[in-house]
Structure 1
Amino acid sequence: MSTLFSPANVVAMVLFSAALAWRTYQVARAPTLPNWAVTACVGGFAAAFLLQQEAVSDEVDAVFGAGAARVANNALLACAVCALVIFFLGSALGPRRYRRVVVELVPLVAAIALMVVAMAMTPPELRGLPLGPATIHDTGIALFYLGAGLYLIYGMIACTGWIVRYLRVADRDLRIGLRLSAVGMASAAAGSIFRALYIVVAWAFGPVVKVLLLLGVPFVIIGGMLFLVGVTYPGLRARVSALRRRRQHRREHEALAPLWTVLVRAFPSIVLRTPPRRRGERLSPRSTHRVYYRRVIEIRDGLVQLSPYLDADFGEVVATDPASAAAALKRALERHAAGEASDGQAKQVLPAAADDIESDVRPLLALSAAMQEGT
């Protein structure tokens, strides 16, 4: 059990658990074929990883017989690769995808059936043993690993082709991840091809060319690592961007406080009414953006209500001279508080180029900073 819970295995299990939990959440939100396929892919790789651990495989063999863990491990890897192929098919084929998915299940079922038959043909004392010079000349062992390897080669080459097709339409971040994934898949496919050649040469012709097996291992390991980096890169980059944006909104929310405070004091009605939220909702990322946009909207509403007391060029002054705009705003607030008459005309309170809420924020931040400096 100590090997099962080694530091590397614990890290891998945590990552697999987190990925599977996230994919399950995505399926619950949108139970589409691509989402189900990706979740099945992650689940298959995670289960295969557990079955590779000696502590788990020994227990499985003890219950179901020698070699059962090896069959289950390779079958799960094949299912995971098939699910990845189905993901690409489900994303690209539209209404025809379900018929094509059924077609894709045929070679998968054939490969698993071949593995089961080959393991049954293997002498009991050799079942479950790894591929190597001592086992390669047994027909059952050779058929088992060849059948598993050929399906993985097919699936990985198919996925590489789909990834290359998506490169043409992907954005920058996704393109980087897809390139890494394509290189990883191609590398793993190359490693599987080396292993298949090792099996064919040794089984059919006799010579054991160890270099083929030795070459296959690093290609598969490096390919797997590159693929995992590639599939996680876009999501990780998106999370980093989201965190950066959240921090930016928190800072800007605080920076807008001086301007918001004076406007709310003059026009309490601009404060938007919102239903009460639970504590968890208040601490959620969406809440950060919600209160930020709410503050921006309330400031704009306050400026619009105050605009009859402002000059017609106030919006342009905000962009060119925030200090002068802050002084004009204070005078307008004083006139409003004193009950003076206004011209009754709504004015442009922000630069004309500000055509969305994000564009509005820059001049509002400058105006708020000028208001604070003038206090």
Structure 2
Amino acid sequence: MNRTLKRVLGLSGSVVLGLAGAVTFASAAQAHHSDYWGTSVCNEDGTWTVTWEATDGTWPGKEDDLTATVKSWTVEGDVSGPLFVEGAALPANGSTDTLKGTQVVSGDVETVSLVLTSKWSNTVEDTGAPYIVSQPEGGCDTPEEPEPGFVLDSDIDCVGIWVWADNTNPEALAEFTFVSSDGEEESYTPEVGEGFGWYFLLEEPESGLSVDVLVDGELVDTVEWYDQELCSYIEVEADCEGLIFTLSVPADGEATTFTLWTSYSDEPEEIVVQPGGSEVREFKAVEDVLWVDYRIKTAKDGTEGGVEWIPCDEETPSPSGTPSAQPQLPTTGSSMTIMIGSAAALIVAAAAIFLIMRRRRAAQDW
């Protein structure tokens, strides 16, 4: 064999050995890998959480004492947990333990991915392929805010307006505000079943009266007072002993039934007054407590209301020694004969809610 051929064969052999060594080294390096994956669950607020887990890998010919640690990672967003700590040891593949980390993801993000780089005890470093995790099937919807549920009620009698509201959804309690046309305002947020009611006294019949009902600051209803002809059939006076009811029917009216029910009555009293007639009923207070509900009813019409008596101020008698003028209820409408005095107006205003609640109960009993 000539010298030239020997040199060529020698060079070719060196190349082959070099390539074989390179392939052998590359195969050993590429065999190193860690295993990692993720699972996702929805959160109540519409976000979702990925739980990332990792172990070291396994492959044919892996040395028994070969271990791996976390070198670095690439992931979108904020992460936490031991998996995302450089130098953290990766548990052995196939064991019951895994190295874990978590990531909370916004509801408008559909997928996230993790790329993990591990470092082995033989100094080999390996970067794996991206592991992609998506939102749970169906997505994670942001829960709707609970809406308030409520009920409203109102009633109109001869001397004012009664309004009432209650919440029905314990998860979203509404604030109720009642505002009268003469500037009185009351607000409250009742618990479910507690209820909130208020009575607004009619000060000037000629000016009228209305009450706006607001729920969480938004107007939902307006209750308007209106005059009722039958209100002129009853006149109430208060003195230091009790209440005096005068029941009258105009000559051009029709037979009218008056029903009176007091805080002392087991049964209501019914009085029928014919056209042009009049009846008087006096109710004496006992232990400083007295209230009287009334109903006025004709064949075609009807109305009802209530009055509470308030004791006189015995510490401030009239200087002249003569009885003070009797306080009276306000007149409602041009045809009404209910006499008004400031003392009775305060009486009605102070006990309005109590009266109306009892009046409604009495009406149900009738």
TM-score by length of 2: 0.25
Please identify which structure carries the higher helix content.
1
Please identify which structure carries the higher strand content.
2
The structure number with the bigger radius of gyration is 2
TM-score by length of 1: 0.24
